[in-house]
Amino acid sequence: MRIVRGTGGTSERRSETFTGEVWADPLLPATSGVTINNVFFTPGARTHWHRHEGGQILHVTAGGGFVCAEGGRPYRLRAGDTVWTPAHEMHWHGADEHGYLLHTAVSLGSTVWDRPVTGDEYTSGDAGRERRSDE
């Protein structure tokens, strides 16, 4: 058993694999291939394209934004939504243009980072339209 005490203000600004201003609070440093972070995205901020060896769970705790799998269009996210991204699926996630996004990210295994999400990819299709998770 391992108990990880609150971080006490040790937020880390992320920049090399993100566009815009993003802050992460580690809740569980890499332990047995699992990493858990609270991640705060300022308006328009987003991850680069990436994938996870064992998949990723995102739980939106506040604000709103988007998540997008490679080859698809962005899905709108809001507080209370949970996203499962399967192992090795290339994807990105981040805030919408007019507000922030705060989510808890549970990443399984290693993360492979790729290229930045372009402005066209970020606004592709009808990104603002509501989509059900089963579309």
In a domain, 5, yes or no: no
In a domain, 75, yes or no: yes
Is the pLDDT at 9 greater than 90? The verdict is: no
pTM score, whole prediction: 0.86
**Is 34 in contact with 28 (CB distance < 8 Å)?**
yes
Average pLDDT score, the chain: 88
**Residue-number span of the structural domain to which 63 is assigned:** 25-122
Output the domain CATH number for residue 63.
Answer: 2.60.120.10
In a domain, 63, yes or no: yes
Q: Which amino acid is at 50?
A: H
Label residue 50 exposed, middle or buried (CB < 10 Å: 0-12, 13-18, 19+).
Answer: buried
In a domain, 20, yes or no: no
In a domain, 95, yes or no: yes
Domain count, the chain: 1
Read off the tokens for 45: 């901020």
Is the pLDDT at 113 greater than 60? The verdict is: yes
- What local confidence, expressed as pLDDT, does residue 109 receive? 96
